[in-house]
Amino acid sequence: MTSRAAPAAWTSALGRYAGAASRFTAYAVDVLISWAAFTLGLAGVSFAILIVTGRSVSWRPAGGIAVGVVLAAWEIAYFGYCWATAGRTPGMALLGLRVVRADGAELDPWRGVLRALVFPLSIILCGLGFVGILVQREHRALHDLLAGTAVIYSWDARAVRLRHLTQTASRPYPDLD
pLDDT digits (tens, 9 = 90+) for 80-121: 999 999 999 999 999 999 999 999 899 999 999 999 999 999
The DSSP string of 22-61 is: HHHHHHHHHHHHHHHHHHHHHHHHHHHHHHHHS-----SS
Helix (H) or strand (E) holding 134, with range, is helix 131-135
**Percent of the chain predicted with pLDDT > 70:** 79
Q: How far apart are CA 85 and CA 81, in angstroms?
A: 6
| Percentage of the chain exceeding pLDDT 90 | 63
Please report how many Cα atoms fall inside a 13 Å half-sphere around the Cα of residue 161, on the Cβ side.
13
Each residue of 41-91: pLDDT tens digit? 999 999 999 999 999 887 775 567 888 888 899 999 999 999 999 999 999
Instruction: Report d(CA 157, CA 11) in Å as an integer.
Output: 7
- Distance from C-alpha of 153 to C-alpha of 19, rounded to nearest angstrom: 9
Q: Which residues pair with 151 in a beta bridge?
A: 99
The DSSP annotation for 55-113 comes to -----SSTTHHHHHHHHHHHHHHHHHHHHHHHSS-HHHHHHTEEEEETTSSPPPHHHHH
What number is the average pLDDT over the span 155-168? Answer: 67
Q: Are 83 and 89 in contact (CB under 8 A)?
A: yes
Question: Which pTM was predicted?
Answer: 0.77
**Nearest of 99, 132, 131, 103 to residue 116 by alpha carbon:** 99
Element (H, E) at 170: helix 157-170
